[in-house]
Amino acid sequence: MFKGLEHTAIASPDPGKLARWYCDTLEFHINFEYAGNYFVRAQNGSMLEIIPSEGGRAPQKLKDEGIRHLAIDVDDFDAGLALLKEKGVHFYTEPFETQGNRLVFFADGDGNYLHLIQRPQPLP
C-alpha cells in the first residue's frame, strides 16, 4: 500500500532561484511548476518540491532535531567534489571516509545541509 517517499519539500524565500541552483549545480531538472512551487527531479527519479517560505530561518546545526540533510548519491566522488568546488558551493566539512563511504557536507543555495556520498556497496 505505502510505496515510499514521493518527494521532500524545502521552503525557500526564493523557490525559483533555489530550483535553478539544484538544476545548475546538481543536474536536477524542473519537471513541474505551479503557483510559485517547483518540483525538481534528479537523474535517479528522486524529487524535491521547493515551496515559498514564510518567516525567517531559525539557527540550525548539523545534528539539531528534525530532518538534517539530503544525501546526494554520486558515481565518482572526486569528480563530483571537484565540480562542486568549481561552482563555488560552501562546504561545512572536509571530505572524509567512514565505513568505506566517501562523504562531504555542503550547502545548497539557501544554506540547507546536503552531503555528497559515494558508497562502495548500496545499502541493503
Mean pLDDT of each 10-residue bin along the chain, 124 residues long: 93 97 98 97 96 89 86 96 98 97 97 96 90
pLDDT reported for residue 56: 84
R_g of the chain computed on alpha carbons: 15
Q: Does domain 1-54 have CATH number 3.50.50.60?
A: no
- Side chain identity at residue 107, one-letter code: A
Q: At 116, phi and psi to the nearest 5? A: -85, 135
Q: What is the pLDDT of residues 3-21, one digit of tens each?
A: 998 999 999 999 999 999 9
Find out whether 115 and 103 touch, Cβ atoms under 8 Å. yes
pLDDT reported for residue 7: 95
pLDDT reported for residue 10: 96
Q: Does domain 68-124 have CATH number 3.40.50.300?
A: no
Where do you find CATH 3.10.180.10 in the chain? 1-54, 68-124
Cell (9 digits) for 12: 525557500
Distance CA 123, CA 64 (A): 24
pLDDT reported for residue 57: 83
Alpha carbon of 61 to those of 64, 75, 99, 113: distances in Å?
A: 5, 28, 23, 9
pLDDT reported for residue 108: 97
